[in-house]
């Protein structure tokens, strides 16, 4: 099961990172207004997700990459809050979905946490 979760996490962050380049408007819309340089921050986030996903693959960098993903998830959490605020203010019917998404960040943190320790195998 650990191996399946591992490869799913690699794929998840490769896809998530790629999405920053495929649909950048989605990410611009969720960035808090106090964060400058939305274009550059979006590129940095996408590249970071892709590089961290790739760094998960070798055992020698896996723990470092897992910690990097945890830090990245913490860093981007304000964007998830901003998405909920935007949906609330615009009376978007997807507001409830944005609220449901917030606790998923805890699951993503726990998922990365699994790989902060050396593989027992």
Q: Which two tokens stand for residue 120?
A: 């027992």
Confidence of residue 1 (pLDDT cuts 50, 70, 90): confident
Q: With pLDDT > 70 as the criterion, what percentage of the chain qualifies?
A: 98
Q: Please say if the pLDDT value at position 121 is more than 70.
A: no
What's the pLDDT at 90?
93
Average pLDDT score over residue span 9-24: 97
Q: Please say if the pLDDT value at position 108 is more than 60.
A: yes
What's the pLDDT at 120?
59
What's the pLDDT at 32?
93
In this structure, what DSSP letter does residue 92 have? Answer: -
Burial class (CB in 10 A: 0-12, 13-18, 19+), 27: buried
Model confidence, pTM? 0.89
Q: pLDDT digit string (tens) for 51-105? A: 999 999 999 999 999 999 999 999 999 999 999 999 999 999 999 999 998 999 9
Q: What is the rounded CA–CA span in Å between residue 107 and residue 100?
A: 12
What's the pLDDT at 2?
87
Burial class (CB in 10 A: 0-12, 13-18, 19+), 13: buried
């Amino acid at each position: 099961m650990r191996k399946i979760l591992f490869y799913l996490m690699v794929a998840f962050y490769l896809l998530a990172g790629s999405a920053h380049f495929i649909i950048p408007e989605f990410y611009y819309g969720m960035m808090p207004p106090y964060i400058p340089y939305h274009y550059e921050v979006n590129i940095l986030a996408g590249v970071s997700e892709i590089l961290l996903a790739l760094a998960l693959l070798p055992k020698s960098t896996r723990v470092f990459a897992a910690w990097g993903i945890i830090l990245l998830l913490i860093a981007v959490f304000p964007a998830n809050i901003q998405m909920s605020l935007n949906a609330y203010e615009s009376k978007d019917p997807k507001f409830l979905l944005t609220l449901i998404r917030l606790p998923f960040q805890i699951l993503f943190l726990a998922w990365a946490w699994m790989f902060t320790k050396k593989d027992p195998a």
